[in-house]
């Protein structure tokens, strides 16, 4: 059977069966199509409890849905209207899991500009609260480990090892973490730019700044890429850092 105003019906709510028997009556044919209702049938209130268990999630109760955060949010304003911190907080508080899941693909897009947190009239630490929500979603398996977290991890590893980051390594390392094939030279095991399975858009993204670099800076970068510089006396500081990170449980994650 045809559906009129098809655009108004979410695809996941349409059930179509070749053969359909209800209460022993064969209703295949014209009646083989069912549109599930949009009605919210219950809340999952344990979701909020799990958010509140985390120190970052504590201020979620303070939100009164004014949307000052969303109005300030660059991701919402310039990228995707579905990224809406205010809305995520409402969904998390009532435990509307299917609605959260619908937005799982955009929810990790926070750029951590913290405008939301600085402006919130109720003192909600919005960026932290959203991280707490993401963590509960990850725990429940309704969101994948978000790509930006892979970058965070790589960034941290680099700083931990050398006391500083190296731009080229960070870029290619991130490309590799994204699952693209990176070709490395056999001696130093360093990535060779623009070889391998790097997609075109990423090449363009990298070429632009390289083209605009002055030659001295470009050589410096190439040198750094080959022989990773290290902060002076980093090993001593690294020991302190390790201790702090152990105390804070960073390695456990």
How crowded is residue 61: how many other Cβ atoms within 10 Å of its Cβ?
15
Q: Is the four-CA dihedral 97, 102, 103, 105 of positive or negative sign?
A: positive
**Applying CB under 8 A, does 45 fall inside the site for another protein?**
yes
Least distance to another protein, CB of residue 57, Å: 13
- Six-digit token string for 1: 């059977």
Separation in Å, CA 128 to CA 27, 39, 97, 105, 122: 52, 31, 19, 19, 14
- For 171, the enclosing helix (H) or strand (E) is helix 167-177
Taking contact as CB under 8 A, which single stretch among the options 16-24, 42-50, 158-166, 235-243 is the one that binds another protein?
42-50
Residue carrying the six token digits 């993204």: 205
**Applying CB under 8 A, does 39 fall inside the site for another protein?**
yes
Instruction: Choose between 10 and 185: whose C-beta lies nearer to another protein.
Output: 10
**Applying CB under 8 A, does 101 fall inside the site for another protein?**
no
Long-range CB contacts (within 8 A, 24+) of 28-33: 30/1, 31/1, 32/1, 33/1, 33/3
- Six-digit token string for 159: 């700083």
**Applying CB under 8 A, does 165 fall inside the site for another protein?**
no
Instruction: Choose between 8 and 25: whose C-beta lies nearer to another protein.
Output: 8
Least distance to another protein, CB of residue 13, Å: 11
Nearest-CA neighbor of 87 among 33, 41, 133?
133
Least distance to another protein, CB of residue 123, Å: 9
Least distance to another protein, CB of residue 69, Å: 14
Taking contact as CB under 8 A, which single stretch among the options 86-94, 109-117, 168-176, 202-210 is the one that binds another protein?
86-94
Tell me if residue 67 falls in helix, strand or coil. Answer: coil
**Applying CB under 8 A, does 42 fall inside the site for another protein?**
yes
Taking contact as CB under 8 A, which single stretch among the options 39-47, 134-142, 150-158, 208-216 is the one that binds another protein?
39-47
Measure the CA–CA gap between 15 and 176, rounded to whole angstroms: 40
End-to-end CA distance of the chain: 51
Residues contacting another protein: total by CB under 8 A: 20
Candidates 41, 141, 189, 251: give the one binding another protein (CB under 8 A). 41
Candidates 17, 90, 164, 230: give the one binding another protein (CB under 8 A). 90
| Binding-residue pattern over the window 52 to 81 for another protein, x denoting contact by CB under 8 A | ---------xx-xx----------------
Strand duo 191-196 + 182-184: pairing: antiparallel
Interacting positions 122-151 with another protein (CB under 8 A): 122
- Six-digit token string for 226: 């080959």
Residue carrying the six token digits 């020991």: 239
Q: Which residues bind another protein (CB under 8 A)?
A: 37-43, 45, 61-62, 64-65, 87, 90-91, 93-94, 96, 99, 122
């Amino acid at each position: 059977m045809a559906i009129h105003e098809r655009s108004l019906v979410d695809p996941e709510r349409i059930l179509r069966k070749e053969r359909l028997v209800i209460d022993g009556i064969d209703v295949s044919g014209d009646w083989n199509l069912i549109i599930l209702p949009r009605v919210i049938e219950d809340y999952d209130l344990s979701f909020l409890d799990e958010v509140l268990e985390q120190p970052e999630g504590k201020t979620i109760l303070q939100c009164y849905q004014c949307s000052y955060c969303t109005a300030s949010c660059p991701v919402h304003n310039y990228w995707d209207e579905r990224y809406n911190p205010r809305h995520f907080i409402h969904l998390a508080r009532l435990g509307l899991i299917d609605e959260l899941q619908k937005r799982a693909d955009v929810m990790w897009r926070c750029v951590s500009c913290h405008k939301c947190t600085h402006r919130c009239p109720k003192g909600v630490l919005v960026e932290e609260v959203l991280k707490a929500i993401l963590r509960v979603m990850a725990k429940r398996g309704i969101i994948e480990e978000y790509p930006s977290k892979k970058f965070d991890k790589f960034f941290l590893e680099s700083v931990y090892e050398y006391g500083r980051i190296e731009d080229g390594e960070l870029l290619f390392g991130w490309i590799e973490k994204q699952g693209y094939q990176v070709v490395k030279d056999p001696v130093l095991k360093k990535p060779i730019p623009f070889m391998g399975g790097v997609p075109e858009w990423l090449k363009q993204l990298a070429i632009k700044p390289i083209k605009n670099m002055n030659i001295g800076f470009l050589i410096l970068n190439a040198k750094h890429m080959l022989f990773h510089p290290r902060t002076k006396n980093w090993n001593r500081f690294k020991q302190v850092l390790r201790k702090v990170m152990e105390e804070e449980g960073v390695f456990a994650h």
